[in-house]
Structure 1
Amino acid sequence: MVCIQRADSGLCVSVCVCVCVCVLVTMKWISAASLPCFTVASLLLLHCQPVASDADRRSDSALTVVENAEGGGGGGGEGGDEEEGANDNLNVVQPTEQWQTLKPGQAVPAGSHVRLNLQTGQREVRLGEEQLKYMTQDHRGEESQSVFSPDELKQVMKNIKEDLNPDSKASKYRPLEELKRDMAQLDLLVETDAQIMRRLLDQFNSSTSTTEQRLNILLELEYLVHQVDNAQTLCSMGGLQFILDGLNSSDFRLQESSAFVLGSAMASNPVVQVKAVESGALQRLLTALATAQPIRVKKKVLFAVAALLRHFPYAQHNFLSHGGLQVLSELFRADGGGVLRTRIATMLYDMISEKELISQTGLDPVLDAAHEDRVRQYSKVSVEGELLEKGWCTLVPQLLESTEHDYREKALRALLAMAPTCLDQYRSDSSLLGSLLSLRDQYQEMVQSEMILGEENSYFTEIVELIDAIQVKIK
């Protein structure tokens, strides 16, 4: 016997199939074998009959399917009323998107998906495929947004009453005149960079300002003049003269800060460079380098000089004509630590490289209309003659004696740029030739050590290439 039970459209059908193989086999001998076969069939039918007659009984292990409340599912009449009454007494589970366990005696709505969990042995139910198909995220979001709890509705009504209360409005909002007065004060606090620089210059020029206040003002100005427009605006306000006056101050701190602001304002700013030259900044900077000053002041002054000369052949010409290289050579000899020497060697390298690059014919005169004018201006800058005259061909090699790799690199670059002018002095300088051989062996060992570690194209490789380039020119 095979009993098949399934749920379909709210109907529970129990089909009992009783098979007696002997009847099929002995159909033609019915008289001889009918009693045993009929007896077995009768017993099986008696066993199946209670299942069919008691289909409406709800046992603890039975699964009952009921119509959805929305579906209506059944016609009117007395039969429909009896079904509704029976369904009211059932414990109907409301399925969700997730599987949930069915307890004994619970019923499920039609269209639900029921399964037997083979691991737990429990029956589980969830929404059917057709129901899940229409339960989209947007639909669920709309339903969740449209539901308010009673407490939330009470709070909304309470807020509406408070908003309609005139007393509460008066306490919540400020008068219009008071708002206008506060906005006017805020407008006074909002300043543009030009207004800030004007205020700082007035405070700097005030007789009541202390040295500490002026130092703070210069610090703020140095931050502002990094922007090209601000630096030009500062010059139009007359602030450049105040900064130059700070270079003549008796306080070394004011000299250092003034030189720092001046150099930051002139960096990559041709308009300010021209204004500075016209204002006599070059003479004041050379004077500050020639007089006794702390090394920190001279570092900032050298920074300002380099910013003034960079890509400005007119200023370079005036620098050379006013004995600038002579001042730098004395400063180079007096510096024992190498900090100033490195800055000076870098400045010489920049001046020589700029003239060499601008003299190349790679630039298209048609595309660059000012090319010829720049070539003419750089032709007036005679750096090579000054290098020989002031003894720079023997001064710069002294920087190779430093133990700092950065100092050596800057010296090698300057020596390579000066090679066309100082080639004879290099060949006759045995100390220089010995230093180049020693340094090459030292840095070559460093390069090999880095190659063993898997490092290539290192900083030491560049130094070796610089030494090789100088040795090739000397040979």
Structure 2
Amino acid sequence: MQLKAAIFILVGLTTASNGNVNNSSRFVATREWQEIAEGQSIPEGLHVRINLSTGKKEAKLLEKDTNNTQSSLSTVAGADLLDHGTQLPTSNIDKLKEALQNIPADKFELDEKELKKVKANYKTYDQIKQYLKEANLDVKSDGDILKKLIKRFEELHKSKDPTETKVREELDNLFEDLQYLVHQIDNAVEFINYKGIEKIIWPCLNQTESSLRIHGFKLFGTIAQNNPKAKIALFERNGGAILLTKISQTTKSDELSAGLYAFGSLVRKFPHALTELLTPQGYSLLFDVLGKNVGLRVKVKIVRLISDLVQDYEHALSSKEPDPIMKERYQSTNLKESLLKVDYCRRAAEFFHQNKAGLLQDESMSEEVISALRSISPNLCHEVWSGCALFRHTLLVLRNNLDTRLDERSGDSGGAVYLREIQHTIDQFVEELYGRERRKDEL
């Protein structure tokens, strides 16, 4: 049995020196602990301990209420008692062993009467489970809940009309629970192992009901986001190609927004997917969104996604401590070369100019677009945009519009600070593209 507390043993011990004792160096005791040198003799009646943090013996005078002709040996609390050379009389060791043997064992038995009293005061584990079940508080693991949700979706999908109000409400709650669970990496992998992709996501994406397709896209994106194992599993199931096809087939803003979220979650920080999916045809399907009659914020997502992919690429290649494997994989994508081949810089400039009116109405969206374009300008599009008069014109129009907005918000100090930050970003972008001498408004 291991002793964790300090052990105090009072023994009638007269410290005797062995053949190596140096009697010329006597120990002078005080009321404070002092270290006993090796072979140093000590007088009788001291309080002696072994300091287990240093392994040294220490001694001091006994307190008045315990001062007698005996000596006290102890260890510093928090460690096991070790032998550091102090010899105890055999009789005291025998007494200690006898005392330890008399400590009650871990096992004990109650007589039948006492056992009945204990059972009357406490419930068994099976009884507790039954009470929780009756109170609808049956304890389940996340895996159990995932299985239950998958099974319930299959029941609703086979026998119910998803457009009915009650069914739709139940499905909304079901997907809310799924979203919460699968954002955890382990749960997402379990969802895939339970064939959740085949049983829920693909059926949703093949539905004519828009709300189900949106649920399917969002669940796909949540599973893939920052989850390498899930990305691989989805990619192996042809998930990327399915997403691009579904994105190309819809003209609804909400569906496109959810689909782009799913696609971005899959391809970001997954260079193999970039190589396989962002071919000229893949880019064409994405760029077609810029020409669709959908909300401007959806189109901005395309610009943001391309900028994020380029920044991931640059980070993998030029970070201070790059991952050699990830660097090699990103290099093999030839991402920047591919974007130049599909004329992305010109397409982005056209989008920027053509949607000038919409950006003027929403400064937060203007900030998103300008920040995204500026982030990839130096390493990708600087040459194209610096020679484009319409690109510069659009930047200056947005900047001058912020002057008007500032006048309108003269009493809103917080809003004014935000607008000036956007102006400062535009000024920097103009200077980077066209130089300091051309920052003046020439409209």
TM-score bucket of the superposed structures, by smaller chain: 0.5 to 0.7
1:432 maps to which residue? Answer: 391
The Cα offsets for residues 278-328 of structure 1, whole Å up to 9 and x where unpaired, read as 111111110111113422111111111111122222222222127322111
The Cα offsets for residues 124-151 of structure 1, whole Å up to 9 and x where unpaired, read as xxxxxxxxxxxxxxxxxxxxxxxxxxxx
1:346 maps to which residue? Answer: 304
Compared with structure 1, are the counterparts of its residues 304 and 322 closer, same or farther at alpha carbon in structure 2 (3 Å cutoff)? farther
In 2, Cα distance between the equivalents of 1:302 and 1:361? Answer: 27
Task: Please show how residues 100-111 of structure 1 align to structure 2 within 5 Å.
Answer: none
Q: Structure 2: which 5+ runs fail to align?
A: 1-118, 435-443
What is the TM-score of this pair, normalised by structure 1? Answer: 0.56
Residues 393 and 418 in structure 1, CA contact (< 8 A), matched pair in contact too:
no
In 2, Cα distance between the equivalents of 1:377 and 1:270? Answer: 15
Aligned residues: 297
Shift of 1:385: 3.3
In 2, Cα distance between the equivalents of 1:295 and 1:280? Answer: 24
Residues 415 and 470 in structure 1, CA contact (< 8 A), matched pair in contact too:
no
1:38 maps to which residue? Answer: none
In 1, Cα distance between the equivalents of 2:411 and 2:154? Answer: 62
| Residue 230, structure 1, aligned to residue 187, structure 2 | yes
Shift of 1:176: 9.2
Quick check: which has more Rg, 1 or 2?
1
1:355 maps to which residue? Answer: 313
Residues 416 and 469 in structure 1, CA contact (< 8 A), matched pair in contact too:
no
In 2, Cα distance between the equivalents of 1:342 and 1:183? Answer: 52
What is the TM-score of this pair, normalised by structure 2? Answer: 0.60
1:198 maps to which residue? Answer: 147
Residues 345 and 410 in structure 1, CA contact (< 8 A), matched pair in contact too:
no
Task: Please show how residues 141-220 of structure 1 align to structure 2 within 5 Å.
Answer: 183-184=129-130, 186=132, 189-206=138-155, 207-208=158-159, 210-211=161-162, 212=167, 213-220=170-177
RMSD: 3.2
| Residue 458, structure 1, aligned to residue 417, structure 2 | yes
Task: Please show how residues 275-294 of structure 1 align to structure 2 within 5 Å.
Answer: 275-294=233-252
Q: Structure 1: which 5+ runs fail to align?
A: 1-172, 366-370
In 1, Cα distance between the equivalents of 2:188 and 2:324? Answer: 29
Residues 251 and 293 in structure 2, CA contact (< 8 A), matched pair in contact too:
no
| Residue 327, structure 1, aligned to residue 273, structure 2 | no
Compared with structure 1, are the counterparts of its residues 415 and 177 closer, same or farther at alpha carbon in structure 2 (3 Å cutoff)? closer
Task: Please show how residues 28-43 of structure 1 align to structure 2 within 5 Å.
Answer: none
* Structure 1 counterpart of 2:142, one-letter code: D
The Cα offsets for residues 82-101 of structure 1, whole Å up to 9 and x where unpaired, read as xxxxxxxxxxxxxxxxxxxx
3-state SS, counterpart of residue 378 of structure 1: helix
| Residue 259, structure 1, aligned to residue 211, structure 2 | no
Task: Please show how residues 38-49 of structure 1 align to structure 2 within 5 Å.
Answer: none
Shift of 1:451: 9.4
| Residue 241, structure 1, aligned to residue 198, structure 2 | yes
Match of 1:374 among 326, 349, 359: 326
The Cα offsets for residues 5-51 of structure 1, whole Å up to 9 and x where unpaired, read as xxxxxxxxxxxxxxxxxxxxxxxxxxxxxxxxxxxxxxxxxxxxxxx
In 2, Cα distance between the equivalents of 1:378 and 1:474? Answer: 27
Residues 400 and 411 in structure 1, CA contact (< 8 A), matched pair in contact too:
no
1:385 maps to which residue? Answer: 337
Match of 1:274 among 232, 237, 257: 232
The Cα offsets for residues 418-471 of structure 1, whole Å up to 9 and x where unpaired, read as 423323332343221112222233335666998997669932233223323322
Bigger RCO of structures 1 and 2 (CA < 8 A, at least 6 apart): 2
The Cα offsets for residues 192-231 of structure 1, whole Å up to 9 and x where unpaired, read as 1110111111222233455325554333212221222211
Residues 252 and 294 in structure 2, CA contact (< 8 A), matched pair in contact too:
no
In 2, Cα distance between the equivalents of 1:336 and 1:209? Answer: 31
1:471 maps to which residue? Answer: 430
